[in-house]
Amino acid sequence: MEFVKMHGTGNDFILINEVEVGWQDIGNIAKRLCDRHFGIGADGLILVCKSNKFDARMRIINADGSEAEMCGNGIRCFAKYVYDRKIVTKKKMEIETLSGVVRPEVVTDDNDKVRMVRVDMGVPHLEPDSVPVRWEGRLINEPIAFGDKTLHISSVNTGVPHTVIFVSDIDSFPIEVYGPVIEKYNIFPVGTNVNFVQVMNRKRLMVRTWERGVGMTMACGSGACASAFISNVLGYIEREVIVSLPGGDLFVEVNNNIYMTGPCVEVFHGDISLWS
Ligand SMILES: N[C@@H](CCC[C@H](N)C(=O)O)C(=O)O
């Protein structure tokens, strides 16, 4: 079957049209395909599925085989995949995900190929049950000790659970040390993505994300939205901000809903025959 390798600001995915396959053990297959040495290599596997009610349905399986509810960079790639292949012909589409309906709008070039996508990411959720996080009331900028280091933690769901932590120097902060500890910390019943944020000025953030089920990534779209939202709640930034990630920049608008705009790129395609 055909697969397509894509990325959104360096967050990379293998996309497969689910209609052509009938895989049972999708977690295990995702793990093998995403492996960077023994497989194609990617942060996640995205399945392009039919929806009974909406234009299409997206499933995202992390590199460790766990299924996530949504993926911000992934849905831009998904929108390009379905529009360029005429699976969906509308520029403003409604995509079903485990986190509800998400609305991407594609921006095309002179050849009607998708170059950028603006995604209505919906309303961010701060209530502890919706994140989810075991905490009395909203968890915003609360000090929590991890060993001998106290970090100020904020929790929000922008399609998937996110933790936002502000640091003064993102380049020297030991993300690989604290990321995995916080991802599985006991107040997060389904784990969390962990975003380390440096506020550069009122219109620009630098963010690095330790992703749940993946590890360090070049970018996280829903993490960029979570970081911009919490930064805005705390009064650090304006409503419109550039979020700079190791893999590129995203433009995020914080209103009642959050909007994220960014690129999506097709890297290569190929055929897979499943090995035993
Ligand atoms: N890379 C993503 C988020 C993908 C899901 C995440 N790993 C999770 O398990 O929550 C994005 O761009 O939003």
**What pLDDT score was predicted for residue 18?**
86
Same domain, 223 and 168: yes
Ligand 1 atom nearest to 193, measured from its CA: 10
The answer as to whether 133 is a domain residue is: no
Same domain, 166 and 223: yes
Query: Does residue 222 have a known ligand-binding role?
Result: yes
Same domain, 205 and 96: no
The answer as to whether 69 is a domain residue is: yes
The rounded Å distance from CA 88 to ligand 1 centre is 23
The answer as to whether 129 is a domain residue is: no
C-alpha to C-alpha distance for 113 and 75, rounded to whole angstroms: 16
Question: Could you list the residue range(s) of the whole structural domain that residue 173 is in?
Answer: 142-256
Report the domain count for the chain: 2
Same domain, 242 and 267: no
Could you say which of 34, 77, 220, 225 is catalytic? 220
The answer as to whether 126 is a domain residue is: no
The rounded Å distance from CA 84 to ligand 1 centre is 23
Same domain, 148 and 198: yes
pLDDT band, very low/low/confident/very high, at 276 (cuts 50, 70, 90):
low
The rounded Å distance from CA 41 to ligand 1 centre is 16
Same domain, 88 and 160: no
The answer as to whether 276 is a domain residue is: no
The answer as to whether 136 is a domain residue is: no
Choose among 159, 44, 25, 52: nearest CA to 97: 159
Mean pLDDT computed over 92-115: 98
C-alpha to C-alpha distance for 125 and 60, rounded to whole angstroms: 20
**What pLDDT score was predicted for residue 47?**
97
Ligand 1 pocket, residues with Cβ under 6 angstroms: 11, 60, 62, 68, 71-74, 160, 193, 211-214, 220-222
The answer as to whether 132 is a domain residue is: no
Same domain, 8 and 104: yes
% residues pLDDT > 70 (the chain): 98
The answer as to whether 127 is a domain residue is: no
Q: Whose CA is nearest to atom 4 of ligand 1?
A: 71
77 in active site: no
More confident call, 81 vs 20: 81
Asked whether the predicted pLDDT for residue 21 surpasses 90, the reply is no
Could you say which of 71, 77, 225, 264 is catalytic? 71
Query: Does residue 186 have a known ligand-binding role?
Result: no
φ, ψ of residue 78 to 5 degrees: the values are -60, -45
Query: Does residue 155 have a known ligand-binding role?
Result: no
**What pLDDT score was predicted for residue 74?**
98
Same domain, 161 and 193: yes
Same domain, 23 and 102: yes
β partners of residue 238:
none
Query: Does residue 62 have a known ligand-binding role?
Result: yes
Same domain, 155 and 48: no
Asked casually if ipTM beats, i.e. exceeds, 0.95, the reply is yes
Asked whether the predicted pLDDT for residue 24 surpasses 80, the reply is no
181 SS3 class: helix
Q: Whose CA is nearest to atom 3 of ligand 1?
A: 71
235 SS3 class: coil
The position carrying tokens 């070049």 is 218
Here the CATH number for the domain that contains residue 194 is 3.10.310.10
The rounded Å distance from CA 228 to ligand 1 centre is 16
pLDDT band, very low/low/confident/very high, at 182 (cuts 50, 70, 90):
very high
More confident call, 275 vs 183: 183
According to DSSP, residue 9 is labeled T
Same domain, 40 and 75: yes
The rounded Å distance from CA 111 to ligand 1 centre is 30
Determine the residue of 45, 62, 75, 121 to mutate for testing ligand 1's pocket, defined as the one with the most ligand atoms within 8 A of the Cβ atom: 62
Mean pLDDT computed over 170-186: 98
Same domain, 195 and 162: yes
pTM of the model: 0.97
Mean pLDDT computed over 118-143: 98
